[in-house]
Amino acid sequence: MLAPVVDHEWLREHRDDVVLVDARWYADGRSNRDAYVAGHLPGAIFVDLDTQLAGEPSVVVGRHPLPEPDTFARSMAASGIGDDDTVVAYDDAGGVMAARLVWMLRVTGHDAALLDGGVMNYDGALDEGAVVRPAANFSPRPWPADRLADVDDASSRENLVLDARDASRYRGEPNALDPRAGHIPGARSVPCRENLSPAGTLVSAGELRQRFAAAGVTEERDVIVYCGSGVTACHDLLALEHAGFAPGRLFVGSWSQYANDLERPAATGDAPG
């Protein structure tokens, strides 16, 4: 399978062999489609998180639950992504949003990778408007149970649980996204945005390995990752793989599911709790 992360040089050498996808998304309500239309990498199609990479939100399942496999397959097919296509996805945030699509494709057996640095590190002219590919054949595949975790798994102290949100949200500082302040007791803070250099590219695999090891990751531990709604946690999961660790599991409902169950405790501060 393709490596979880590729750089712009790799893309230039393999451009005719991949489907390039713009998967940017903004939590502040800005239009990701408008941003794509205003300027995207040449030939890139657009895939929307809310309508194509997530199911119906609720307080029970969280803000971005996985779509049904049939729904996801129809969406990919309509976008022009087929069973045998290799997908390279990017955004304008170091890959923390595009990671969701890449993770979804990889866990269902498709070749997909993040474009390191995304649109912000592209040195050519951007294209405007929308790119449309012919519809393709994309077969439904079930979400693999061994790559997913539920709220009870994430609550168990037997598992190593990583929180991919910014450290301020982990500590419990007020913000507009989380329904309740804090983190899952026992979870370790490994903010996905700290996987990135100041230039918006991934730090080296060795540095990533040190970061995760400092949080308790070993080859033997069962690692579960969550974030606010199961999106940016995928960046930590891809970074784990890029660093040479075994694949972890995604708690899809993440804090948006956990925090809405008021019977479950929340920890605050810098310590796991």
Asked if residue 195 has pLDDT above 90, the reply is yes
pLDDT value for 240: 98
Model pTM greater than 0.85?
A: yes
The CB-side HSE value for 81 (13 A sphere, CA atoms) comes to 28
The full length of the chain comes to: 273
Nearest to 104, CA basis, from 56, 152, 147, 133: 147
Asked if residue 1 has pLDDT above 90, the reply is no
- pLDDT tens digits, residue range 214-272? 999 998 899 999 999 999 999 999 999 999 999 999 999 999 999 999 999 999 999 99
- pLDDT tens digits, residue range 144-164? 999 999 999 999 999 999 999
Cα–Cα distances (Å) from 61 to 26, 147, 202, 257, in that order, read: 21, 17, 31, 5
Asked if residue 93 has pLDDT above 90, the reply is yes
- pLDDT tens digits, residue range 100-149? 999 999 999 999 999 999 999 999 999 999 999 999 999 999 999 999 99
For the annotated catalytic residues, the residue numbers are 227
Residue 79: count of CB within 10 angstroms of its CB:
21
Cα–Cα distances (Å) from 132 to 105, 128, 138, in that order, read: 20, 13, 16
pLDDT value for 225: 98
| Euclidean distance between CA atoms 273 and 265, whole angstroms | 10
Asked if residue 44 has pLDDT above 90, the reply is yes
Asked if residue 9 has pLDDT above 90, the reply is yes
| Euclidean distance between CA atoms 248 and 160, whole angstroms | 10
E strand spans, the chain: 5-6, 18-22, 45-46, 86-90, 112-115, 148-149, 160-163, 188-189, 223-226, 249-251
Mean pLDDT of 10-29: 97
* Residues 6+ away with beta carbon under 8 Å from 165: 183, 189, 191, 192, 227, 228, 232, 255
Sorted by where each starts, the structural domains of the chain and their CATH numbers stand as: 5-121 (3.40.250.10), 145-258 (3.40.250.10)
One-character DSSP codes across 101-143: HHHHHHHTT--EEEETTGGGG--SPPB-S---PPP------PP
Mean pLDDT of 201-221: 96
Instruction: Yes or no: say if 217 and 236 are a contact pair by the CB < 8 Å rule.
Output: no
**The residue to which tokens 């990751």 are assigned:** 217
Mean pLDDT of 200-225: 96
The mean of the pLDDT values for the chain is: 97
- Apex 131 CA angle, 129 and 137, nearest 5: 160
Share of the chain above pLDDT 90, in %: 97
| Euclidean distance between CA atoms 226 and 254, whole angstroms | 5
Mean pLDDT of 198-206: 97
| Euclidean distance between CA atoms 36 and 109, whole angstroms | 27
| Euclidean distance between CA atoms 243 and 210, whole angstroms | 9
| Euclidean distance between CA atoms 89 and 241, whole angstroms | 17
